Amino acid sequence: MANINKVAIVGGTHGNEYSGIYLLRQWQKHAESVNRPSFDTTLLMANPHAYENNTRYVDSDLNRQFLLHLLQDEGLNNTEQRLAKQINQQLGPRGQASTDLIIDLHNTTSNMGPSLILLQSDEFNLRMAGYLKMQMPEAVIVMEVDVPLEKQPYLCAIAQQGVIVEIGPQPQSVLRHDVLDWMQTMTMHLLDYVELYNTHSLPDLPDVIEAFTYTETLKLPEDEHGERLGMVHRNVQDRDFQPVQPGEPIIALFDGGEICWHGDYEAYPHFINEAAYYDNNLAMSMAKKISLPIP
């Protein structure tokens, strides 16, 4: 792959995920912390309207608006659809983007710790994961590579390379000191990685790292009127990336019953009881733990 010449760090894609928003403010005052010799860094506050309203989004989830056919549909012009088109002009356009790498900063209410979500498993991404685990062993690598990049609706997918920094637990509209520090630390390592990658100066990386590869999403049970019949079971609450065996309870029903994990594999739940996924009635995502070879 060619060098990374232009990097964009994006915060506020969701207006009530505060860590990235506050870090952007700091970095705007101290550009030296995000600048590196071999590439240009742009800082972008993605959805100031949502932040002003202290909400995830005004009309629709900005981070689901970046598929090519949505960006090209001139009939779509609510707040976030318009924003998506603007951002696509600024950092993209998708397919021939001026930005080589987008780092999009997110928070989750789930206890996911400092997670890095990769959307591709090419050499650039895998070495990034290897470097990050070496520098920050507590980091969690999540592979969302079940669909190709061009089918990912995320903001960061408009560049040739895009990653999501996803750190929790942090309630919406709250700024936690520990979560902010994790995000700052991880972002610095990612920028350092790009610099080392560009200058062919990477240290020896581990042969293999632990990672989690997304498999499926579980919904909360509903009745025929769409009313929820249960909630995430206390046995899995806060236990993101801890193993769940087939037959173990994962949902507590309000009538006193339980729903158990019905898959045929040891699953690693994450995004457990994420507040923002209540719109869609999602309970958690599942993953498999893998040993990821680093090229």
Please say which residue, 151 or 234, places its beta carbon nearer to a second copy.
234
Nearest distance, CB of residue 83 and a second copy, angstroms:
21
Report the interface residues with a second copy, using CB under 8 A: 22, 25-26, 54-55, 109, 169, 171-178, 180-181, 227-228, 231-234, 237, 252, 254, 273-276, 278-279
Q: Is beta strand 208-219 parallel, antiparallel or unpaired with respect to 161-168?
A: unpaired
Q: In whole angstroms, what is the distance from residue 220 CA to residue 84 CA?
A: 30
Q: In whole angstroms, what is the distance from residue 11 CA to residue 116 CA?
A: 15
Kindly report the backbone phi and psi dihedral angles of residue 102, in degrees, each rounded to the nearest multiple of 5, phi listed first: -115, 125
CA dihedral 205, 206, 208, 209 (to 10 degrees): -90
CB 249, CB 228: distance < 8 Å: no
46's tokens: 């993605």
Nearest distance, CB of residue 269 and a second copy, angstroms:
14
Nearest distance, CB of residue 116 and a second copy, angstroms:
22
CB 232, CB 278: distance < 8 Å: no
CA dihedral 55, 56, 61, 64 (to 10 degrees): 160
171's tokens: 């309630």
Nearest distance, CB of residue 239 and a second copy, angstroms:
12
Nearest distance, CB of residue 224 and a second copy, angstroms:
16
Please say which residue, 232 or 292, places its beta carbon nearer to a second copy.
232
Please say which residue, 54 or 245, places its beta carbon nearer to a second copy.
54
Please say which residue, 91 or 186, places its beta carbon nearer to a second copy.
186
Q: Is 211 exposed, middle or buried (0-12, 13-18, 19+ CB in 10 A)?
A: buried
CA dihedral 198, 203, 204, 208 (to 10 degrees): -70
Phi-psi domain of 47 (left: phi exceeds 0; alpha: psi -120 through 50; beta: other): beta
Please say which residue, 76 or 229, places its beta carbon nearer to a second copy.
229
Please say which residue, 254 or 293, places its beta carbon nearer to a second copy.
254
CB 121, CB 266: distance < 8 Å: no
CB 47, CB 57: distance < 8 Å: yes
Nearest distance, CB of residue 275 and a second copy, angstroms:
4
Please say which residue, 101 or 250, places its beta carbon nearer to a second copy.
250
Please say which residue, 155 or 272, places its beta carbon nearer to a second copy.
272
Nearest distance, CB of residue 292 and a second copy, angstroms:
31
Nearest distance, CB of residue 58 and a second copy, angstroms:
13
290's tokens: 């893998």
